[in-house]
Structure 1
Amino acid sequence: MLVVARRRLFSLPKLPSLASSEPQTHSVSRVIQGSHQHVYRVVSAVDEYRQFIPFVEDSFINQRTNEGVPTEGGLRIGWQQFEERFVCQLECVPGQSVVAQSMTTALFDELYTKWQFTPMGPHMTKVDLNLKYKFKNPMYNAVSSMFSDQVTQIMIRAFEDRVKATPNPVAEGETNQQK
């Protein structure tokens, strides 16, 4: 009798069910260097996302209040063969929070993003990012669930790097006033 042992050289990760009806949720908290006003300005400048966030091919703001606060904006995302554009209603509370909710129904059943900024001293801010989404396309849900934790970390790191790389007008004004 001949017995043949088989061993797989590699195995594929278990894919989530394509029929999942629950939205995916992710939360990240991080304390970063920068005032809460400065962090808010970076996050609310949706039209600049294409300059520093991976996979963002285009970013735009369609509407602002009379005070210049964004109320509608969007992104065009590209990755390998995927490319999608969506528009969000924005609710910005200067220095405190930015909420984005998808208005585009072709891509998402649901998209809700909330950034919250808590001062932790003059030049430190606690950033809480809460993301809840469900794509209309079940394949997008399956693919995104495999990479969402990494993408969330990449995204918050991109914002953290942007805060460090951009001048903080408030801090510069404080420095100039102290001279």
Structure 2
Amino acid sequence: MPRRAAPHAHALQQARGFLSGLAAEDSKVYQERRLLGWSPEQLYSVVSRVDEYSRFVPWCVGSKVLRGGAEGGYLEAELEVGFQVFVERYTSKVTLQAPNKVHSSVSDSRLFDHLESTWLLRPGPQPGTTWLVFKVDFAFRSALYRHVADLFFSEVVKRMIGAFEGRCREVYGPSSLAAGGGGRRRAVEGGGGGGGGGAVVGQLQRQHPQPHQPHPALHQSQTQQQQQRQQRIEYKPADGEGSGGAGGGAA
């Protein structure tokens, strides 16, 4: 006669089936590209000071460097995040390449199967500007954690760049892309539309105003010359400008 499975074996199989249903989903990846109004060195200084994160990073309630430092290109820091009854503490291993890259990874968390973030900093089209690419890749260990933390952590990630912008503004002053110079910059970056080209043409016209009342005998020839000059004006965006813009998107 075939043997009957022991009751405890059947219970174990049921438990395994239940736990397999709580397995973590595939990784979530968030990436954003943005043009910021501070130099790469300034942004790198803010990002690399991990011990100051608790002062401005959303819901980061504790941050301290355990060993190493930015000067040596490697550090380990203990970070604690908290929101209402949710609290998580983990060690972040950070590698740094001044002033262009900061990468961190987490492997000892009860909440995350993995958590990696990368900051890439490249000089922008004007002095005092930076092309920033921020990417974070994470996955939760189980659905029990995921249901509690998924929406919360996604919101934290989306607010990260804004928090670091605010810190740069606090430490180094207003963005070089602020109202005034920044407004003109955004108009030029608009590319092929009438806004950018019109701004450039309008500026050239203001620098070379027409005579208020030209002599009648010269009116026709001056008008023809102006038309020829207008036809020669063609705006060509510099490298890095155009459709890329300052905006970013999730990948």
Task: Describe how 1:19-58 pairs up with structure 2 within 5 A.
Answer: 19-58=23-62
Matched to 2:89, the amino acid is R
Aligned match for 1:59, one of 51, 63, 67:
63
Q: Deviations over 1:51-76 (max 9, x none)?
A: 01121100111122593544211310
Cα gap change, 1:23/1:118 in structure 2, threshold over 3 Å: closer, same or farther? same
Cα gap change, 1:19/1:154 in structure 2, threshold over 3 Å: closer, same or farther? same
**Residue 18 of structure 1: CA displacement?**
5.8
Between structures 1 and 2, the one with greater helix share = 2
Match of 1:71 in 2: 75
Matched to 1:50, the amino acid is S
With 97-106 and 124-133 compared, the bigger mean Cα shift is at 97-106
Aligned length, in residue pairs: 152
Q: Percent identity?
A: 29
Between structures 1 and 2, the one with greater strand share = 1
Aligned match for 1:104, one of 101, 108, 115:
108
Task: Describe how 1:78-157 pairs up with structure 2 within 5 A.
Answer: 78-120=82-124, 121-157=126-162
Residue segments in structure 2 that go unaligned for 5+ positions in a row: 1-20, 174-251
Q: Deviations over 1:125-145 (max 9, x none)?
A: 111111011122423323444
Task: State the TM-score, normalizing by the size of structure 2.
Answer: 0.55
Task: State the TM-score, normalizing by the size of structure 1.
Answer: 0.76
Structure of larger gyration radius: 2
Q: Is the 8 A contact 2:33 2:133 kept in 1?
A: yes
Of structures 1 and 2, the one with the larger relative CO (CA 8 A, separation 6+) is 1
Matched to 1:125, the amino acid is T
Runs of 4+ residues deviating >3 angstroms:
17-20, 65-70, 142-150
What do you get for the CA RMSD once the two structures are aligned?
Answer: 2.2
What is the CA–CA distance in structure 2 between the aligned matches of 1:101 and 1:37, rounded to whole Å? Answer: 22
